[in-house]
Amino acid sequence: MLDVVVLVSGGGTNLQAIIDGVESGSITNTRITGVISNNKNAYALERAKKHGVRNQCISPKDFASRDEFNERFIEVIDEWKPDLIVLAGFLVVIPPAMIERYRNRIVNIHPSLIPSFCGTGFYGLKVHEAALERGVKVVGATVHFVDEGTDTGPIILQKAVEVEAGDTPEILQKRVMQQAEWKILPRAIDLIANGKVSVCDGKAVISQ
Ligand code: GAR
């Protein structure tokens, strides 16, 4: 059984997709053992409560320094003993010590086809604004393992989504979520839970 802790900052629709996947059985061999948010007002926390999932808010704002926050953050994660940490719209930089300790056990969902529209400053709606600004015709989402860089870790799954005439950043964001993110994040967790994902020479390999 894969014990998963999900880290969130906002609405939590990706968290919901994971909860639904576990409850419906499309994600197998997995239980969600906790949700952590850096934002006490995140609707994601309500979703966790509704489904009886342990949840906690831990925010850098409540600590004197980033080092103190990082130390407590790692302590909480270690106490919860996850097999996998899922960043589902989590907008806080993961402490390097956590990346080291949980190497290839932290995954992130990013709302673009990496290496396009990723890295520092590309998050949430900004990604879709940049894609429309550039005029690309295909966008999408990526699930990847987290390494020390920003959106640079081994890519596990990607899914493309077409841009349509009249798209606004908000409309495009919603389509990327519906057609890509809510599908590939649960799928990646199911693959990991069933031992189908390994990392070789810095690349994720999927065995069927
Ligand atoms: C999602 O679109 C996710 O891909 C994005 O934030 C949104 C969170 O939505 N993550 C990033 O931009 C990370 N760089 P949600 O709270 O409804 O799941």
Is residue 110 annotated as part of the catalytic site, yes or no? yes
| 39 plus 9 within the same structural domain | yes
State which of 102, 118, 135 marks the end of a domain.
102
Q: Return d(Cα 5, Cα 167) in angstroms, integer.
A: 34
What's 95's DSSP letter? P
| 29 plus 74 within the same structural domain | yes
Taking 50 as the pLDDT cut, the residues of the chain under it are none
**CATH code for the domain of 191:** 3.40.50.170
Alpha carbon of 158 to ligand 1 centroid (Å):
15
Report the mean per-residue pLDDT for the chain. Answer: 97
| 119 plus 189 within the same structural domain | yes
Ligand 1 atom closest to the Cα of residue 124 is 12
| 140 plus 193 within the same structural domain | yes
* Residue 181 beta carbon below 6 angstroms from any ligand 1 atom: yes
| 67 plus 127 within the same structural domain | no
| 158 plus 196 within the same structural domain | yes
| 19 plus 35 within the same structural domain | yes
Q: Which single residue is written with the structure tokens 């589902």? A: 88
Number of domains composing the chain: 2
State which of 50, 85, 102 marks the end of a domain.
102
* Residue 95 beta carbon below 6 angstroms from any ligand 1 atom: no
Question: ω before 154 within 30° of 0 (cis)?
Answer: no
Question: pTM of the predicted model, to two decimals?
Answer: 0.97
Q: E strands along 9-87, which residues? A: 30-37, 55-57, 84-87
Kindly state the tokens that stand for 39.
Answer: 């934002």
State which of 53, 81, 102 marks the end of a domain.
102
Identify which of 6, 47, 109, 182 to mutate to test ligand 1's pocket (most ligand atoms within 8 A of the CB). Answer: 109
Q: How many other C-beta atoms are found inside a 10 Å radius of the C-beta of residue 78? A: 12
Interval 74-103: pLDDT, tens: 999 999 999 999 999 999 999 999 999 999
| 202 plus 174 within the same structural domain | yes
In terms of residue numbers, what domain contains 158? 109-208
pLDDT of residue 59: 97
* Residue 140 beta carbon below 6 angstroms from any ligand 1 atom: no
* Residue 10 beta carbon below 6 angstroms from any ligand 1 atom: yes
Identify which of 15, 91, 150, 181 to mutate to test ligand 1's pocket (most ligand atoms within 8 A of the CB). Answer: 181
Interval 176-200: pLDDT, tens: 999 999 999 999 999 999 999 999 9
| 115 plus 184 within the same structural domain | yes
Residue 13 makes CB contacts below 8 A (sequence gap 6+) with: 89, 177, 181, 182
